[in-house]
Amino acid sequence: MTELLIVGAGGFGREVLTYAQDMELKVSGFLDENAGALQNFGLPVGVIGTLSEHRFAEGERVIVAVGDPLVRRKLARQVVAQGGQLFTLIHPTAYVARNALVEAGCIICPFAMVGAHSHVGWNTAINTYASVGHDARIGAHTVFSPYSVVNGHVTLGEAVFLGTHASVTPGKTVGLNSKISAGSVVSRTVEVGSLVSGNPAKGRVMFATQLDE
C-alpha cells in the first residue's frame, strides 16, 4: 500500500491531510523543520522528521503542501534529488477533463476544475474552487489560491502565484515568477517576474526574471 508523506506542516499541510483522509489514503506523517508545528491540533499523525534527513523507503510517496511557488519548487526538487517520488492528489470532488494532462506532484483541491486539453505542470497546487480553462498551459510549481481562474488558451510560466479571485482573461500570458494580487484581472501580457494588481491589472517587474537551476 502506498504511504504518503506531507512536506510542510502548516495550514495547507493540514488541509492536504484532510483531503487524503477523504480519499482513504494512508498518511505516515509530515516532514518539517519545526518538530512542534502540529502540537495541539489533535491530528492522527505528526511531524516525523525533516526532509533533509529523511531516507525514502520503497512505496513512500510525497506531497509538497506549501503555498509559496518558489518554496514548492525548492522542496519538490529536493525530494527528487533525494530519491523520493511525488504523488498527485486529485480530490474526488474536483473535475479534471479526461483529455487534460496533470503532471506528477500536483494537488487538485476540492471543487477545483481542470478543463479540456489543458496541461498542468508538475508540482502545481490548484486550490478550492479554482479553475484552469480549456487549452491552458500552466507552468510547474504554480499556485492557484481559492477561486482564482485562468481562462482558455492562457499560458502561465513557472512558479506563478495567483491570489484569491484573481483571473487571467483568454489567451493571455503571464511570465514566470510573477504574482497576481487577489481580485485582479489580467487582460494583457504580464512580464516575467512581475507583481500586478487591479482591474485591469497593472504593475512592474519586482522579482527574479530567471530561476536558479
For the chain, 213 residues long, give each residue's pLDDT as a single digit of tens.
Answer: 679 999 999 999 999 999 999 999 999 999 999 999 999 999 999 999 999 999 999 989 999 999 999 999 999 999 999 999 999 999 999 999 999 999 999 999 999 999 999 999 999 999 999 999 999 999 999 999 999 999 999 999 999 999 999 999 999 999 999 999 999 999 999 999 999 999 999 999 999 999 987
Q: What is the CA radius of gyration of the chain?
A: 17
Residue 213 has what pLDDT?
Answer: 75
Instruction: Classify domain 3-87 at the CATH class level.
Output: alpha beta
Give the position of cell 516575467.
192
Residue 130 has what pLDDT?
Answer: 98
Residue 1 has what pLDDT?
Answer: 62
Residue 212 has what pLDDT?
Answer: 84
* Angle, CA 74 vertex, CA 112 and CA 61 arms, to 5°: 60
Grid coordinates of 113: 476544475
**pTM here?**
0.97
Residue type for 114, please?
V
b/e per residue, 69-78, with b = 16+ CB within 10 A?
A: bbbbbebbbe
- For the chain, which residues make up each domain, given as ranges? 3-87, 90-205
What's the CATH code, domain 90-205? Answer: 2.160.10.10
CA distances from 58 to 2, 116, 164 (A): 9, 34, 38
**Strands 202-205 and 194-197, how do they pair?**
antiparallel
Instruction: Tell me the H-state helices in 3-68.
Output: 11-22
Tell me the C-alpha distance between 115 and 130, whole Å. Answer: 11
Instruction: Tell me the H-state helices in the chain.
Output: 11-22, 69-81
Contacts 24+ apart (CB under 8 A), 105-113: 105/62, 105/63, 105/64, 105/76, 107/16, 107/19, 107/63, 107/65, 109/15, 109/19, 110/19, 110/22, 112/144
Residue 2 has what pLDDT?
Answer: 78
Tell me the C-alpha distance between 56 and 20, whole Å. Answer: 20
